[in-house]
Amino acid sequence: MTLGADRKKIVWLTGVLVAGGALIYWADFSSPDSAPVAVPVSSVPVAAPPAGGRPAAKPAERRRVTSQNLSDNWKPRLGPKNPEDRPDPATIDPTVHLDLLARVQAVEPAAAGRNLFVFGAAPPPPAPAGPLPVVGKIAINHPSAAPPQIVNPGPPPNPVAPPMNFKYYGYKVSKTDGHKAAFLLDGDDILIAGENDTVKNRRYRVVKIGVNSITIEDTQFKSTQTLPLTESPSA
């Protein structure tokens, strides 16, 4: 087995490490430059640290330290980082080329589509230049429908005469010549008319006076109506 051999190697390596550490410690502390350095003590009284913790730094001191660290760490860099890539100042031409400047000034600035510093809706897109192409009409074949039938209305119907409001309630016969006279009631008015006589501004003409009815003609509509005999209004 190699267990004994491994232990010997471990002991030997441990001894070498201890000897090396002792030599380094002796070289550092035995040199004349290792004299103790005096540390200046500030005359400003330091507040006692709180119980169980380290003293807290003042806000002004923290800001001063932070600003000092930033100013110490920030170093501006001019030109490329690699010195080989930096241009040689002797090769730079300081002459102002007026012809190139005039060429740049002659360029007309393009119209701005939208002002980035003004909030609002974007302007509408510009209208297309030139007329739009004309597209021909597309014929669509619809199923043929039957033509509408035209109905001949014919001649207009003859006007119908309104009904008569007369009431026939009696008549009388003259003893001398046998002439008949009918009694008609038109609302509250009593009309007396014989055969061939007209009433109501010659609108109606009495055609025939019968025992149980009377026939009257509407001269405006050229139509006749027969009114039955009714009871006497005085009964």
CATH of the domain at 219: 2.30.30
C-alpha to C-alpha distance for 109 and 226, rounded to whole angstroms: 103
User: Which stretches of the chain drop beneath a pLDDT of 50?
Assistant: 1, 3, 33-44, 46, 235
Residue 211 placed within a domain: yes
Q: How many domains does the chain have?
A: 1
| Other CB atoms within 10 Å distance of the CB of residue 169 | 19
pLDDT of 76 reads: 67
Residue 218 falls within a domain, yes or no?
yes
Phi then psi dihedrals of residue 47, to 5 deg: -65, 145
Q: What pLDDT is recorded for position 145?
A: 66
Q: Give a yes or no: residue 208 inside a domain.
A: yes
Give the per-residue pLDDT at 5: 56
pTM over 0.95: no
What is the pLDDT, as a whole number, of residue 83? 77
